[in-house]
Amino acid sequence: MDQLFAPWRIDWVERDETEIDGCPFCVLPDREDDRDSRILARNDHAFVILNNYPYNPGHAMVIPYHHTGEYRDLDEDTLLAIATLKQRTFDALDAALGPEAFNTGMNLGGPAGGSIADHVHTHVLPRWNGDTNFMPVLADTTVIVEAVEETYDRVRESFADLDGAHDPGEPGAIEF
């Protein structure tokens, strides 16, 4: 039997599933602890969060506050806010992780692969040469090489550095 050692996942496995009542993308931004919610940055209409099921370290999502599963329901201010945060996310991930490329996209609707189909979100995945190997193809397994908490700290610091004001002990997400 093949085994992968990922002890950091125990927190996710043992989590209290009643912890989030409703849409997680609506609930998480209202919490007081952005690190616990994995929220990296915010602006007036959207926020950036690390994915709890990452394909690679730094797998982030840009999410509007407006709850809708229909991209065409988003107003121009929200669309601009999402685009601005995506640019900031590229910059922060470049500084924190040094990827060689990015994949970005949306899964709109359940049949498209959207696990949370009723709240629009855009994935931003850092990519490196050789990061796709035999494991997903032959073993239907992905290997994550860094704990999500460590990735959060590195990427959040890079978001803070983008604006020049950085206090690593400061609670709350970075505002843009």
Between 150 and 171, the more confident residue is 150
Task: Identify the three-state secondary structure at position 42.
Answer: strand
Across 41-50, 51-60, 158-167, the highest mean pLDDT is recorded for 41-50
Helices (H), the chain: 10-13, 24-27, 34-37, 76-97, 134-138, 148-163
Q: What DSSP designation does 125 have?
A: E
CATH architecture of 21-160: 2-Layer Sandwich (3.30)
Question: What would the pLDDT profile of 59-117 be if each residue is shown by its tens digit?
Answer: 999 999 999 999 999 999 999 999 999 999 999 999 999 999 999 999 888 887 767 88
Residue 125's Cβ-side half-sphere holds a number of Cα atoms within 13 Å equal to 15
User: Can you give the residue ranges of every domain in the chain?
Assistant: 21-160
Rg, Å, the chain Cα set: 16
Mean pLDDT of 144-169: 75
Sign of the alpha-carbon dihedral angle for 36, 41, 43, 47: negative
Token pair 């007036």 in the structure block, residue:
44
Model pLDDT, residue 166: 46
With a cut of 90, say whether residue 44 has pLDDT above it: yes
